[in-house]
Structure 1
Amino acid sequence: MNGDWFIRGRDGRLSVYLPTDDAVLCRAERALGGSWEPPRRLGGEQRLRPGPAVGQGADRYTHLAAWRPTKPGEAGLVHSTHFRPHLAALDWTPIGHPGKTGDRTGPPAVAVDARGRAHVFVRNQAGGVSMRMQKEKGGWDPWRDLKGGDVQGELAAVTGQSGLVELYAATPAGILHWRQEKPAAVPTLEEAMDASVRPDTLYALPTSATDTTLFHTDDSGDLCAWRPGTKPTTVLPSAGPSRVSAVRCELDGHDCTLLAQRSASGRVAFAAYPTEQESAGAWWTESGPQLPADALVSLTVDEEDRVMAATLSPSTGRLLISRRKDEPGLALEAWREV
């Protein structure tokens, strides 16, 4: 799943999104802090291809995008909106193909602007990126070619605190960055940063009123942070090979960025530092049981702004949850299976 799959809904309930071979499933709390519902299929019986994407707007509605098979050797993208975790999501709606016809071109990414409009991004047949934006009163604008080239792996789409949508992509030469100049505008390619970057390790997070920070792993295995207009900074060695998850939170009265990643030992590793102050240093602390090799890690904050962490194994469907204790530091409660 490309995007934050562990989220807090409009009603405060926590939910997770789990991709299967041909669907997206959702699990949600029955009540705040209570037991969890069993998995249920989203968007009707439409069969999907692997690699869906999820994004959430300021209104806390969730938007999902995925490829579906259309005919032998061809596919098209579909979109669904999930308004509340305990309600059924809208049926999957076709939004087409950036090249009109053809097979999958790459994994999609979704960001939602301040007005609740979904922006679906995907690598196109030329190796650049195309986007289709939802209209405010229904329907979709045409596909737009955002240019770029040699794009590899998953895209990282994010909405800044300004409500403007940004996109990051990895290439053999480095990182590409697109940004909207104003609401509803087509994002423009603003910067191509020469950097060492491993595909499928991008994660973007709003970190100030004007900036987003991109986390990525470089070829040496270090976890790096980059804000457009600067040079990438090494934060610390990666705990493991998977993509990092990050969230901004308050720790002991300080605005901090908390990182989480499945470590090489199989446990969840956490590291925190003052937001946008990578030079302050950070170190990993492991928590919880050993996890399967395919386990995913995601972070969010609950209704009381306490950090929540979740791990999910697609092969087993096992979901583990932990939350920060109400005490100084970053102590977590015991992990529990739901």
Structure 2
Amino acid sequence: MNGDWLLRGRDGRLSVYQLSGDAVLCRAELGAGGPWSAPRKVGGEQRLHPVLAVGQGADGYAHLASWRPTVKGEAGLVHSTHFRPHLAALDWHPIGHPNRTGDRTGTPAVAVDAQGRAHVFVPNRGGGVSMVMQKEKGGWDPWRDLKGREVRDGLAAVAGESGRVELYAAVSQGLLYWRQEKPGAQPVLQEALEAPVRQGTLRALATSPESTTVFYTDTSGGLCAWRPGGEPVTVLPAAGPGPVSAVRCDLDGHDCTLLVQRSENRRVAFAAYPTERESAGAWWTESGPELPLDALVSLTTDETGRVVAATASPSTGNLLLTRRKDEPGLALEAWRQI
């Protein structure tokens, strides 16, 4: 899974996306605050490889990308749009291959610009990154090679508050950063950071009108934050393996960034700090029951602005959810299975 798979739709209802064998399943609130629907297959009967990338635009629409098997030993990327969580998503639509033909080249990443156009990024066989973008009035532009060298799997794509799309990629010696100069333009490689980045730990978040922040774990186990043009900052030791999920939220009248990660103790760990003020410090607080080894975690806010966290296990299919209580601090309701 790449991206946040717990989303709030434009109608205020929450939805989750889960991999299940050769399919993607969606569950959604039947009304704000629940109850929840039974799992439904996304995108028709197309068989998929067990990989999913999710992105969401300012319009609340979810865009999903995955690989599908084509002929023996080869695969192609597909895309679906989900306009309302409680309605059926569009069928999977083929969008090609970064090298025209061949097997999977890596995990895709999706970002959606201010015009509602999905941008799908994926590593290519040349060691760089390729992108395909939706046209504003339907269809897709040709694949574009964004270059780069020794790009590792686990891209992080994000739309800034301006709506322009940005991309981060881990390489053997650090991070690469691409940004659109104007809407609809091809993202351009802007900066390369030398840093000991652990593969598969990137997560990007829009944190101000001018900036996005990428979070990653370094090889010594520190959870770091970097905004292009500056230096990376170690926020706190990583709670556990894998990327964090991150959301901006109001905590007692303060603009905060909330991080969540599965801890080494296999529980959900939360940490918060004033947005873009990493020097203020942060610390982890664990919550909930012990989780399976493959459990994923994700964050969003509901239609009232309350933080919502979810954890899902592909092996068990279990989905747990909690909300912030309506009281000062980051007190959470009891975790419940949905």
TM-score with structure 2 length normalisation?
0.99
Matched, 1:314 2:314: yes
Structure 2 residue matching 1:146: 3-state secondary structure: strand
d(CA) in 2 for partners of 1:152 and 1:242? Answer: 14
Structure 2 residue matching 1:95: 3-state secondary structure: strand
Aligned to 1:205: 205
Aligned to 1:163: 163
d(CA) in 2 for partners of 1:53 and 1:61? Answer: 14
Aligned to 1:215: 215
Q: CA deviation at 1:145?
A: 0.3
Aligned to 1:331: 331
TM-score with structure 1 length normalisation?
0.99
Structure 2 residue matching 1:279: 3-state secondary structure: helix
Deviations 1:132-172, CA, capped at 9 Å, x for gaps: 00000000000000000111121000000000000000011
Aligned pairs (5 A) from 1:62-211: 62-211=62-211
Aligned partner of 2:32: which letter?
A: L
Q: CA deviation at 1:51?
A: 1.4
Calculate the aligned-residue CA RMSD, in Å: 0.6
Q: CA deviation at 1:21?
A: 2.6
Aligned partner of 1:314: which letter?
A: P
Deviations 1:21-53, CA, capped at 9 Å, x for gaps: 311110001111121111110001000112110
d(CA) in 1 for partners of 2:272 and 2:238? Answer: 13
d(CA) in 2 for partners of 1:285 and 1:48? Answer: 37
Aligned partner of 1:47: which letter?
A: R
Q: CA deviation at 1:20?
A: 2.1
Structure 2 residue matching 1:79: 3-state secondary structure: strand
d(CA) in 2 for partners of 1:280 and 1:3? Answer: 27
Structure 1 residue matching 2:279: 3-state secondary structure: helix
Aligned partner of 1:4: which letter?
A: D
Aligned to 1:50: 50
Aligned partner of 1:22: which letter?
A: D
Aligned partner of 1:94: which letter?
A: P
Matched, 1:11 2:8: no
Aligned to 1:25: 25
Aligned partner of 2:282: which letter?
A: A
Aligned partner of 2:291: which letter?
A: L
Deviations 1:89-113, CA, capped at 9 Å, x for gaps: 0001111001111000000000000
Q: Percent identity?
A: 75
Structure 2 residue matching 1:106: 3-state secondary structure: coil
